[in-house]
Amino acid sequence: MLDIWAIRSTDVLIYISVSCVLLNGVSMSFIPQPPSSALVTEPISMRVPDACRFTGISRSTLYLLISRGEIEIVKVGAATLVLTESLRELIERHRARGGKPGSDTYPPHKPI
């Protein structure tokens, strides 16, 4: 049996369809499955640019949320690591209130 599969850097499994011709001339296609030991794992933390991509928010908004204590970070040397669980909790808080403005919305912009 031929197993062909790949893992992207985002830990998403990509299956490659394989076509083969058997000795008797019969053609068949199949999508191999990864070994059962292949687990897709989520990082505990990520750097700021990855956190922005993960949530879809801008870098300045992310730093605003960090300064307000809404997102938890860990400093390791010069690296700022954003905790993945903290990002999930932020999204869940906003999801729970239905995306409507609440007590944790950003301050309104002042006219110039």
Over residues 46-85, the pLDDT tens digits come to: 999 999 999 999 999 999 999 999 999 999 999 999 999 9
Domain contains 7: yes
Shared domain for 57 and 26, answered yes or no, is no
Structural domain range at position 27: 1-33
- pLDDT tens string 9-54: 444 445 555 555 556 666 666 566 666 655 668 899 999 999 999 9
Domain contains 55: yes
Domain contains 104: no
**By the 8 A CB rule, do 51 and 60 touch?**
no
Domain contains 107: no
Q: How many domains does the chain have?
A: 2
Q: Which phi and psi angles does 61 have, rounded to 5°?
A: -65, -40
**By the 8 A CB rule, do 46 and 71 touch?**
no
Q: What is the token pair recorded at 32?
A: 């191999």
Domain contains 9: yes
Q: What is the token pair recorded at 22?
A: 């058997």
